[in-house]
Amino acid sequence: MNGTPRVLNRVLLALLGLLFLGSGALLIALATVPAVGRWWQDRAKPATAEFAGLAARTILPGRSNSWIWIVVSLALVLLIIAMVAWVANQGKGRTDILADEYGDEDDDGAAGRVVISGAVAEQALKSALSERTDLLAATVATYALRGQPALRVRVLPRQGVSPHKLAAEVSALVQALDVVTGLRTPVLLSIGSGARTRFTKAERVG
């Protein structure tokens, strides 16, 4: 429901994982396999000499440093900016407004505006869900879905709780919220599971 680029994130994580895996395997091989160490020395010496020659040919006039380091510094700055932009792009789509509508004109010709904060719905649902002993955790957040506000409800039930029954009961809470606010808000219900569910002692729900 949000603007997080999940596919891009997974691709980047996979590439970084392969890079670190390859680097770790190379370091282990260099430390344990003599043949790999000799191969690395044979390849590293010419590359180091070539780079030293390139640095000597690109020294700035009147200075002792090569302009290559300036290019490297700029590349690192651009990389940092790209990383900051990537982090800032995570989790987009959140909104603080559940409803923002203008009412019809009354007898005096004045039109009213109704604004409902997303925190109203979030706190109401969280309060109702926190009283349930069959849930380990519950989170509610307001998102903008195709320009319209929507709620995402994520619950973590205890082991043995029927997901169908839980979904029906949460839906009933959402319908009650719709009656109170006078709105019909789209809701995405996510029922999770995990180690916390498996290793937490189940309690009988009366």
Contact 160, 198 (CB under 8 A): no
Question: What is the reported pLDDT for 74?
Answer: 94
Q: What per-residue confidence (pLDDT) applies to 109?
A: 54
Residues 189 and 101 both lie in one domain: yes
pLDDT digits 0-9 by tens, 33-47? 888 888 888 888 888
User: Which pLDDT band holds residue 185 (cuts at 50, 70, 90)?
Assistant: confident
Q: What is the pLDDT of residues 21-76, one digit of tens each?
A: 999 999 999 889 888 888 888 888 888 888 888 888 888 787 777 888 888 899 99
What is the number of structural domains in the chain? Answer: 2
Cross-strand partners of 140: 153
Beta strands in the chain (DSSP E): 97-105, 111-117, 135-145, 148-157, 187-191
**Structural domain for 32, as ranges:** 6-88
Domain check: are 128 and 189 in the same one?
Answer: yes
pLDDT in tens, 93-143: 677 777 766 666 555 555 567 777 778 888 888 888 888 888 888 888 888
- Domain identity same for 47 and 113: no
Confidence at 4, pLDDT banded by 50, 70, 90? low
Domain co-membership, 50 together with 19: yes
Q: What tokens appear for 134 in the block?
A: 């069959």
The two three-digit tokens of residue 26, written as one number: 């190379």
Same domain as 183, residue 121: yes
- Which of 56, 88, 120 is where one domain is finished? 88
Whether 91 shows a pLDDT value over 70: the answer reads no
Amino acid (one-letter) located at 198: R
CATH code, domain with 183: 3.30.300.30
